[in-house]
Amino acid sequence: MCTAFRDGFQSAYGARVQTKDFLPALEAARDAGIDYFEAGGGARFQSLYFYCQEDAFDMMDAFRQTAGPDANLQTLARGVNVVGLESQSSDVIKMHAELFHKHGITTIRNFDALNDVNNLIYSGQCIADAGLLHQVVVTMMELPPGCEGAHDADFYADTLQQILDADIPYDAVCFKDASGTAVPSKVYETIKRARKMLPADAYIHFHTHETAGVSVLANKAALDAGANAIDLSLAPCSGGTCQPDVLVMWHALRGSEYELDVDIDKVREAEEIFKECMADYFLPPEAVAVEPLIPWSPMPGGALTANTQMLRDNGIMEKYPDMIRAMSEVVRLGGYGTSVTPVSQFYFQQAFNNVMFGPWEKIAEPYGQMVLGYFGKTPVPPDPKIVELASKQLELEPTTDPPLERNDADPNKGLEAARKKLKENNLPETDENLFIVATCKDKGLAFLQGKAEFGVRKVDKPAEAASAAGVATPPAPGQPAEYTVTVDGKDYFLAFNGNNVVVDGNVFQVSLAPRSGDSSETAAPATSGATTSVKAQMPGVLLKAKVNPGDRVSSGQALFILEAMKMEVPVASPCDGVVKEVMVQPGQQVANGQELAILG
């Protein structure tokens, strides 16, 4: 299967790619003989609404029209989470399968990051009932060195046996290694055992990434063990955090008993077209590099680049090595859920908090919910101390209730809750709109209202050329002014954006005013009465301001909601008081320590 136009986009560009830009490359790949494509789902669903100002269903329609009527188009689903980061109710899961079938999808690859088979039973049945092919998944990774208790061949065989015992309808079985860390010998042993457990004609698919540098060897091990299919990508989004390139795997298999049934010269041509299509997109350097530390801190390719891009957006990219190192302990203590969306994001969010606030000082809500059982059963019990911390900080008791039952009883989830939001906002009620709001929540609603932000990262060619020529160009309205400043032969990146200044990735809050000849004019006016500043405890985007000037507030009350690393982080009032001034607006990027409001 060619993953370039889904997993490749997620792994290299944080899934932020516009449909019109890649269709010529898809057409060329089709003409090269490729007829099996990953065409959406996963992060490529939400990201179109969040960042691309596009409808994912329109994208799937265009994909089908370009790939042709006979192509096998496959999307990615996360069990009871379907295409979101949180679990859904039964009616949303059923609608997911029906809508994806309606919009041209052939196959859905369906996985649960915890390998909790209970999360695959109903979702798998819905996929089959909708007339789609169901590829049921066992998720894989290598545990950090020194860990044991799951993620070995015995664990994977047991998970597969649970799938078979649950009588989940399936058309293929996939072993999915999103972090690219599974040891090739373990891949071989796992698939060899699966081949013996399954009927002789069972279709086995293997998926990995090049992040840890062993994908070609792992793919060959899977084929030798009896796998029927592997996933490959196309340059410019191949290798590194992505799947290995079709050309690379073709070369690696030369002289063996395997060959790729494609026109390799036309594949080369397709890649050149693809490179031209993506030439304006910013390709982060870590997207095309092998990361030797990944076996110690397993991070999927798609999550790795999405997270580094968010760190760049927040001006704290220098913290990335610390966060990768912190991942190891987070995985060790969290119950060994597979590092694949959404669990990989939970791991990174907790690692982020451990670096920004101190180890285990602040439990990330999704990570805490995971260790408390709200996403299902983890492969091994989480560390009791972390469970206790999560329960105390989140004010939640541990649970063993199945997520589907809990979600069906939650009035804030499901199609009825989505229907209410559409009605409140005078938006048309269609199946597509209901599903968008149910899975994308406020950001889905903002898209339907025409208020979605645009977050596609493209290279500013004129500015790049001007910078190379040493010419400063004025910024576009609403955009930061960016410069390269050379001091003693060393270049520094400098960007002014409102009252924030970024210097080589570090964000500082400043006050800019015209210089006056009389220094006394610059003195700050005296203020009467004691005041207290409310400051951001981390960088992020201001999602909500929950107070206005004149409001009386209590110590600990949430005054603002920041969004950072896909988390909603409340900013609490440091004391009792009255809001004198609010300094920020929703949608504004704020720096760590920036003043948000003044209390009196």
pTM of the model: 0.82
Spatial distance between the Cα atoms of 427 and 448, rounded to a whole number of angstroms: 8
Q: What is the pLDDT of residue 479?
A: 47
pLDDT tens for 312-363 read 777 788 888 888 889 889 999 999 999 998 898 899 899 999 998 899 999 9
A 10 A CB-CB count for 340 gives: 29
Using CB atoms within 10 Å of the CB of residue 156, give its burial: 0 to 12 exposed, 13 to 18 middle, 19+ buried: buried
CA atoms lying within 13 Å on the CB side of residue 104: 21
Q: Which residue has the higher pLDDT, 422 or 559?
A: 422
Which tokens hold the place of 444? 């889905």
- Rounded to 5°, the CA angle 450-100-2 comes to 100
pLDDT tens for 159-201 read 999 999 999 999 999 999 999 999 999 999 999 999 999 999 9
Spatial distance between the Cα atoms of 193 and 595, rounded to a whole number of angstroms: 59
95 Cβ neighbours under 8 A, 6+ residues apart: 415, 431, 434, 435, 438
Q: Is residue 118 very low, low, confident or very high in pLDDT (cuts 50, 70, 90)?
A: very high
Q: Is residue 512 very low, low, confident or very high in pLDDT (cuts 50, 70, 90)?
A: low
Q: What is the pLDDT of residue 485?
A: 64
Spatial distance between the Cα atoms of 48 and 517, rounded to a whole number of angstroms: 52
pLDDT tens for 526-546 read 345 678 989 887 777 887 888
**Overall average pLDDT of the 562-579 stretch:** 80
Residue 488 has pLDDT above 70, yes or no: no
Using CB atoms within 10 Å of the CB of residue 487, give its burial: 0 to 12 exposed, 13 to 18 middle, 19+ buried: exposed
438 neighbors 418 (Cβ within 8 angstroms):
yes
pLDDT tens for 365-390 read 999 999 999 999 999 999 999 999 99
335 neighbors 381 (Cβ within 8 angstroms):
yes
**Overall average pLDDT of the 62-66 stretch:** 98
Which residue carries 């409310």 as its tokens? 534
Q: Is residue 505 very low, low, confident or very high in pLDDT (cuts 50, 70, 90)?
A: very low
- Which of 200-214, 325-339, 586-600 is the least confident region? 586-600
Single out the residue of 175, 204, 229 nearest to residue 1, CA to CA. 229
Residue 556 has pLDDT above 70, yes or no: yes
Q: What are phi and psi of 470, to 5 degrees?
A: 80, 20
- Which of 197-206, 449-458, 510-519, 556-565 is the least confident region? 510-519
Using CB atoms within 10 Å of the CB of residue 514, give its burial: 0 to 12 exposed, 13 to 18 middle, 19+ buried: exposed
Spatial distance between the Cα atoms of 416 and 78, rounded to a whole number of angstroms: 22
- Which of 119-123, 171-175, 227-231, 478-482 is the least confident region? 478-482
Q: What are phi and psi of 206, to 5 degrees?
A: -125, 140
Q: What is the pLDDT of residue 147?
A: 87
Give the per-residue SS3 of 314-371.
CCCHHHHHHHHHHHHHHHHHCCCCCCCCCHHHHHHHHHHHHHHHCCCCCCCHHHHHHH
Give the per-residue SS3 of 138-181.
EECCCCCCCCCCCCCHHHHHHHHHHHHHCCCCCCEEEEECCCCC
Q: What is the pLDDT of residue 262?
A: 87
Residue 521 has pLDDT above 50, yes or no: no
CA atoms lying within 13 Å on the CB side of residue 521: 6
Spatial distance between the Cα atoms of 471 and 396, rounded to a whole number of angstroms: 56
Q: What is the pLDDT of residue 77?
A: 98
Q: What is the pLDDT of residue 523?
A: 38
Residue 302 has pLDDT above 90, yes or no: no
Q: What is the pLDDT of residue 491?
A: 56
H helix intervals, 449-599: 461-468
Residue 471 has pLDDT above 80, yes or no: no
Instruction: Please report, in angstroms and rounded to a whole number, the separation of the first and last CA atoms in the chain.
Output: 61
Residue 478 has pLDDT above 50, yes or no: no
36 neighbors 74 (Cβ within 8 angstroms):
yes
Q: What is the pLDDT of residue 341?
A: 84
**Overall average pLDDT of the 85-98 stretch:** 96
Q: Which residue has the higher pLDDT, 574 or 248?
A: 248
Q: What is the chain's mean pLDDT, rounded?
A: 88
pLDDT tens for 11-28 read 999 899 999 999 999 999
Q: What is the pLDDT of residue 510?
A: 54
Q: What is the pLDDT of residue 404?
A: 95
How large a percentage of the chain has pLDDT more than 70?
Answer: 88
Q: What is the pLDDT of residue 205?
A: 98
- Which of 83-92, 348-357, 452-461 is the least confident region? 452-461
Q: Which residue has the higher pLDDT, 586 or 393?
A: 393
